[in-house]
Amino acid sequence: MTVILYHDGVTRPACDCERLRPYSHGQAALIYSSSAHVTRKLALIAGASGLVQCGPGWRLEVNKYGVNKHGVGDTELTSRLGAVSDALRPAEREQVQVVALEADTPLYWQATTLPLWLTRSRTSWFPGAAERLKFVFQPVFDLRSGAVFGHEALMRSSLDDRHFGALDLLAAAPAHGGLHLLDRRARLAAIEQGAARVAAGGRLLINFMPGVIYDPEVCLSSTFTACHQFGVDPQRLIFEAVESDHFPDLEMLGTVLSRYRRGGMQVALDDLGAGRSSLLHLETLRPDFVKLDRSLMLGLAEDDPRIALVGSLIDYAHRLGVRVVVEGLETNFELEVAVSLGADLGQGFGLGRPLGEQDLTGEDRSGQRVRALSGVGEVLT
């Protein structure tokens, strides 16, 4: 068990957001399933896959082990388990459990599904990449005045000569039990790396995963500490709950957002229009901002029926006192629609790409385009 000495001098077990549990990727594993159907399927493919009957399951052992220069699992065991996976349908794979063996001892606490085991083995770069988070910042424009409202912090990482985007990191994290750690490190790194922009009078939009927060009073305390440490005014921060529509505990989500607001921060929900519960979330939680699901604007053309839907969603949010952010703006027509329908804020490659250093010239040009469509208005505060 890993323990940490905290600032109050008390030693406690390390929390999920503070360390990754080490996993063994040895030369042997047990595989089994509680499903009678999948067990029969495994029995049928056992011979061809090199599986040896062992109690209620099968043992798979190899003689070669290693990782390539990138730290990516390139093992015979991974290859053989991959062959087992290929012989199964997706739903069947989820019913197969894999347990690593160490000196013939099953490490039951490491038991996981076959898809997660393969992901963990093939993404052994994740622990190192999670320690090297780097943020780029995409401008968000006031669609009435053309002014830069703030910048969204977008997560990246690199390890040796490999580069990873947010989707790579988020896809790998669950297999390593690392979602809690990744979310915490990302919040703190975004505050640290975005501090200079806030000091210059800007706002920072930071994503977070509400599903990894057990207790807002405890889990978010490091966020407020980071603001104090790096001299960041909490009132210049907007925390966006990502995939909030998939978070079933509406009461808990409200508690998390309330804790941010009590700390002086603003909050946002994403993906309005993506699911059945997104309207309920918006009405119940009344965030400061909501982002439209990017699929509503992607490839928008004249006479597109989505235009009426987008207009209705913007109107509905405004009736609730919620400001609307349209993301994924890539074309002049998409920008024109967003402005004409009354969206408050906009971002996308058509306005400005995520960059490490602020592109003042490019932002000024994009601001001029917005002003040409809307005229000069009051800057949002």
The predicted pLDDT at position 13 comes to 54
Distance separating alpha carbons of residues 287 and 271, to the nearest angstrom: 13
Q: Is residue 306 located within the same domain as residue 284? A: yes
Q: Which residues face 290 on adjacent strands?
A: 269, 324
Residue 255 belongs to what domain range? 127-374
Q: Is residue 116 located within the same domain as residue 227? A: no
Structure-block tokens of residue 180: 């809690």
Last residue of a domain, one of 108, 123, 138: 123
Q: Is residue 198 located within the same domain as residue 280? A: yes
pTM: 0.88
Residue 89 belongs to some domain of the structure: yes
Last residue of a domain, one of 123, 156, 183: 123
Residue 262 belongs to some domain of the structure: yes
Last residue of a domain, one of 123, 148, 177: 123
The CATH number of the domain where 150 resides is what? 3.20.20.450
Q: Is residue 60 located within the same domain as residue 134? A: no
Q: Is residue 145 located within the same domain as residue 245? A: yes
Residue 299 belongs to some domain of the structure: yes
The predicted pLDDT at position 47 comes to 85
Residue 41 belongs to some domain of the structure: yes
Number of domains in the chain: 2
The predicted pLDDT at position 244 comes to 67
Q: Which residues face 136 on adjacent strands?
A: 154
Q: Is residue 95 located within the same domain as residue 222? A: no
3-state class percentages of the chain: helix first, strand second, coil last, to nearest 5: 45, 25, 35
The predicted pLDDT at position 26 comes to 66
Q: Is residue 95 located within the same domain as residue 172? A: no
Residues 141, 367: contact at Cβ < 8 Å? yes
Q: Is residue 169 located within the same domain as residue 99? A: no
Q: Is residue 283 located within the same domain as residue 212? A: yes
Q: Which residues face 60 on adjacent strands?
A: 29
Residue 8 belongs to some domain of the structure: no
Distance separating alpha carbons of residues 251 and 243, to the nearest angstrom: 16
Q: Which residues face 207 on adjacent strands?
A: 240
Place of tokens 């800057």: 379
Residues 6, 15: contact at Cβ < 8 Å? no
Residue 380 belongs to some domain of the structure: no
Tell me whether strands 96-102 and 112-113 are parallel, antiparallel or unpaired: antiparallel
Residue 11 belongs to some domain of the structure: no
Distance separating alpha carbons of residues 110 and 97, to the nearest angstrom: 10
210, burial (CB in 10 Å: exposed 0-12, middle 13-18, buried 19+):
buried
Q: 3-class SS at 240?
A: strand
Residues of the chain with pLDDT under 50: 1-8, 10-11, 65-74, 378-379, 381
